[in-house]
């Protein structure tokens, strides 16, 4: 097992208030690492640190190191990092343009793909990988805003795949979706881990137990425990974990 990401002594702050404390955690290549925990436990802050989205927030600061394939992410170019570490949010937000243009927008802007035929092939490939091709192949020119919520979320996944990342961060990707769309996104995440390394933050404990290989439990800015998912859900080491997964709080 190879570590794709290694987090050492990471602490994060907003206005000097610590919201994530001395985190040590690794993400194994091609795994789905689930991150669960009640509101305000620092899950989103953790994800936004991994691709330096929080660099834009002037109240935010941090200490510690995060290594991606051995390189400290705080030493590499942030744009380049975000290309390697893509992120998906709770609410799918397609651009107000066609399905095709949604997917080609970033790769074109970044100059990753330029020739029309390469763009077309790329669009088909990422739509297949996001389990959307059969549903949209006859209407690639139609507005993305007319798709269902579940389709929009898979389109947003296709957009992330189009920049060819190594790691994908999901922040509660199913919170606005119905059970059928949720099941599709969950199946998709399991397929995607063959090619990508995935960190899945979810408020839905059952979702973590269904799809993640290992699960980390965060509480009030601290990692309480991390273990193989089967083990964490069947015999957690810590009482706080047990209380949370059995629904006694949170």
Ligand X SMILES: Nc1ncnc2c1ncn2[C@@H]1O[C@H](COP(=O)(O)OP(=O)(O)OP(=O)(O)O)[C@@H](O)[C@H]1O
- Closest approach of ligand X to the CB of residue 89, in Å: 11
| Secondary element (H or E) of residue 13 | strand 3-14
Residue 22's binding partner among ligand X, Mg ion, none (Cβ under 5 to 8 angstroms by kind) is: none
Residue ranges in 195-224 that form contacts with ligand X under rule CB under 6 A: 203
* Rg value, the chain, Cα: 18
Residue in 26, 45, 207, 215 binding ligand X, rule: CB under 6 A: 45
Instruction: Classify residue 75 by burial, with Cβ atoms within 10 Å: 0-12, 13-18, 19+.
Output: exposed
Q: Going by DSSP bridges, is the β-strand pair 167-171/32-36 parallel, antiparallel, or unpaired? A: unpaired
Which one, of 78, 49, 32, 60, lies nearest residue 173 by Cα?
32
User: Which stretch, 34-42, 66-74, 119-127, 133-141, contacts ligand X (CB under 6 A)?
Assistant: 34-42
Torsion angle defined by CA atoms of residues 50, 52, 53 and 54, in that order, rounded to the nearest 10 degrees: 100
197 touches Mg ion (CB under 5 A): no
- Closest approach of ligand X to the CB of residue 245, in Å: 15
* DSSP letter string, 14-25: ETTEEEEEEEEE
Residue ranges in 43-82 that form contacts with Mg ion under rule CB under 5 A: 44
The site string for ligand X over 49-88 (x = CB under 6 A, - otherwise) reads --------x-x-----------------------------
Which one, of 93, 94, 92, 98, lies nearest residue 140 by Cα?
98
SS3 106: helix
14 touches ligand X (CB under 6 A): yes
User: Which stretch, 39-47, 137-145, 205-213, 238-246, contacts ligand X (CB under 6 A)?
Assistant: 39-47
Residue 46 vs 100, nearer CB to ligand X: 46
Residue 44 vs 151, nearer CB to ligand X: 44
152 touches Mg ion (CB under 5 A): no
**How many other CB atoms are found less than 10 A from the CB of residue 4?**
22
44 touches ligand X (CB under 6 A): yes
Q: Which residues bind ligand X (CB under 6 A)?
A: 14, 19, 37, 39-45, 57, 59, 203
Q: Which residues bind Mg ion (CB under 5 A)?
A: 44
């Amino acid at each position: 097992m190879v570590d794709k990401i290694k987090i050492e002594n990471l602490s994060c702050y907003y206005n000097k208030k610590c919201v994530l404390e001395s985190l040590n955690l690794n993400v194994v290549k091609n795994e789905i690492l689930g991150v669960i925990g009640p509101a305000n436990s620092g899950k989103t802050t953790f994800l936004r640190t991994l691709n330096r989205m929080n660099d834009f927030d002037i109240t935010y600061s941090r200490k510690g190191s995060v290594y991606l394939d051995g390189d400290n992410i705080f030493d590499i170019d942030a744009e380049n990092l975000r290309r390697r570490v893509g992120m998906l949010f709770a609410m799918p937000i397609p651009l107000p343009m066609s399905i095709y243009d949604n997917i080609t927008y970033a790769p074109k802007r970044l100059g990753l793909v330029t020739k029309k035929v390469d763009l077309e092939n790329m669009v088909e490939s990422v739509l297949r990988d996001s389990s959307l091709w059969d549903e949209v192949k006859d209407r690639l020119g139609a507005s993305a805003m007319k798709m269902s919520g579940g389709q929009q979320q898979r389109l947003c996944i296709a957009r992330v795949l189009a920049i060819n990342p190594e790691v994908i961060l999901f922040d509660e990707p199913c919170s606005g979706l119905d059970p059928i769309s949720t099941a599709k996104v969950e199946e998709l995440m399991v397929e995607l881990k063959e090619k990508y390394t995935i960190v899945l933050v979810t408020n839905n404990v059952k979702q973590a137990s269904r799809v993640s290989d290992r699960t980390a439990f965060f509480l009030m800015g601290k990692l309480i425990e991390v273990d193989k998912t089967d083990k964490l859900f069947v015999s957690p080491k810590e009482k706080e974990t047990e209380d949370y997964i059995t629904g006694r709080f949170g």
